[in-house]
Amino acid sequence: MRPLDGITVLAFEHAVAAPFASRQLADLGARVIKVERPGAGDFARGYDTRVKGLASHFVWTNRSKESLTLDVKHPAARDVLDRLVGQADILLQNLAPGAASRLKLGYEELSVRHPRLIVCNISGYGPDGPYRDRKAYDLLVQAEAGLLSVTGTAETPSKAGVSIGDIAAGMYAYSNILAALIQRGTTGKGCNIEISMLEALAEWMSYPMYYAYDDASPPARAGASHSTIFPYGPFPVGDGSVVILGLQNEREWAVFCDDVLGQPALREDARFNSNAGRTQHRVALTDIIVAAFAPLNGEQVIARLQGAGIANARLNEMADLWNHPQLQARGRWASVGSPAGEVPALLPPGGFDGYTPRMDPVPALGEQTTKVLAGLGYTEDEIEAFRKGGVI
């Protein structure tokens, strides 16, 4: 038995944030009914065709769900929506601001008839305030939350390479829903959850925000290096590869000088005998490190760092991640079905003894429409009439 077996999630979702949250609920056993527009579906289905003709974002965030096509604005859809809500434990949505209320799917409208229902709303900026109606694409939220200001090089601010604002919002939606289920188990009542991408990412920005407390200067953009600790970041090696390394204290600095660089005299160099000094003189120290690594290849540098107990990593590409030896050794890969056949998928992080995470197929658009409607009590003739009338 999985932790959320018997829990039903009704998801009015698109893009990344809400689908990521609901997929994780599905991983734990919840039944997720994904409501999509007839003929088009979640627009993330069309982002790209990189996974056997399917979109990379969609494959990642939508396994183990049931796809129901429904024109929610059609008058005949009202009864379907009412029946769906009547069977749901959780309603999750990231529609445009105000859309859920216009569809009479807001918590206040539904809680009167369904007091145990948990409603989770994900938006860019929240249900009120001056930014309420602004479009909130991930890049825009990264900019508003200050992430771009501390990411990139000194000359060029850069976005994170993944949809970090969506992912943050999806994670907080997931954890808040789990907390709400625990609370409901005690009180018997559902609740309303409001998740804002800006608020989620602002929480993750709290270290640089506090670093700049009381009008202090913020952390400088330092590319892949650390802005306040040095050496901590990427360094080129003689064979053209790049090695990432990081020092955290003076003991490690001494070992680094002795066993990695082979230059023990550097330990006493006044420019480098503290982290503040190394950070101030990072250009000179970088030149020394690069020169020491120039005769070596990546494997030799990694071996020295490992031998000295210095934190290190390779600068992997996506192909390296697909074949990462640690993921392979830990058995973290599984396979899931899709409309294009089997595709590999990472097992969800974490888990505990006693259950296996759900790893069911990525659904085709509307694949479970007939099944879901039949489960709601509609006859074959009624379902066919819905289809002919453009309801589904």
List CB contacts of 252: < 8 A, sequence separation 6 or more: 309, 310
Q: What pLDDT digit, counting tens, does each position of 89-144 carry?
A: 999 999 999 999 999 999 999 999 999 999 999 999 999 999 999 999 999 999 99
Residues 271 and 177 in one domain: no
Residues 258 and 362 in one domain: no
Residues 196 and 296 in one domain: no
The pLDDT value given to residue 283: 95
Residues 156 and 74 in one domain: yes
Residue 243 lies in a domain: yes
HSE-up (13 A, CA, CB side) for residue 31: 13
Number of compact structural domains in the chain? 2
Low-confidence ranges of the chain (pLDDT < 50): none
Residues 179 and 277 in one domain: no
SS (H, E, C) 76-144: CHHHHHHHHHHHCCEEEECCCCCHHHHCCCCHHHHHCCCCCCEEEEEECCCCCCCCCCCCCCHHHHHHH
Residues 143 and 186 in one domain: yes
The residue range of the domain holding 252 is 232-315
The pLDDT value given to residue 226: 87
The pLDDT value given to residue 185: 97
Residue 34 lies in a domain: yes
Residues 64 and 155 in one domain: yes
Q: What pLDDT digit, counting tens, does each position of 195-254 carry?
A: 999 999 999 999 999 999 999 999 889 899 988 899 999 999 999 999 999 999 999 999
Residues 243 and 309 in one domain: yes
Residues 152 and 252 in one domain: no
Question: Would you tell me how many other CB atoms lie within 10 Å of the CB of residue 211?
Answer: 14
E strand or H helix that includes residue 31: strand 31-36
Residue 334 lies in a domain: no
The pLDDT value given to residue 66: 98
Q: What CATH number is given to the structural domain containing 271?
A: 3.30.1540.10
The pLDDT value given to residue 280: 94
Question: Would you tell me how many other CB atoms lie within 10 Å of the CB of residue 321?
Answer: 10
Domain boundary among 297, 315, 333: 315
Residue 339 lies in a domain: no
Residues 367 and 283 in one domain: no
Residues 119 and 14 in one domain: yes
Q: What CATH number is given to the structural domain containing 47?
A: 3.40.50.10540
- Residue 305's SS3 state is helix
As a whole-number percent, the residues of the chain with pLDDT over 70 amount to 100
Residue 332 lies in a domain: no
Residue 61 lies in a domain: yes
Nearest of 269, 264, 274 to residue 229 by alpha carbon: 274
The pLDDT value given to residue 385: 97
**C-alpha distance from residue 333 to each of 70, 202, 336, 337, 360 (Å):** 34, 32, 10, 14, 14
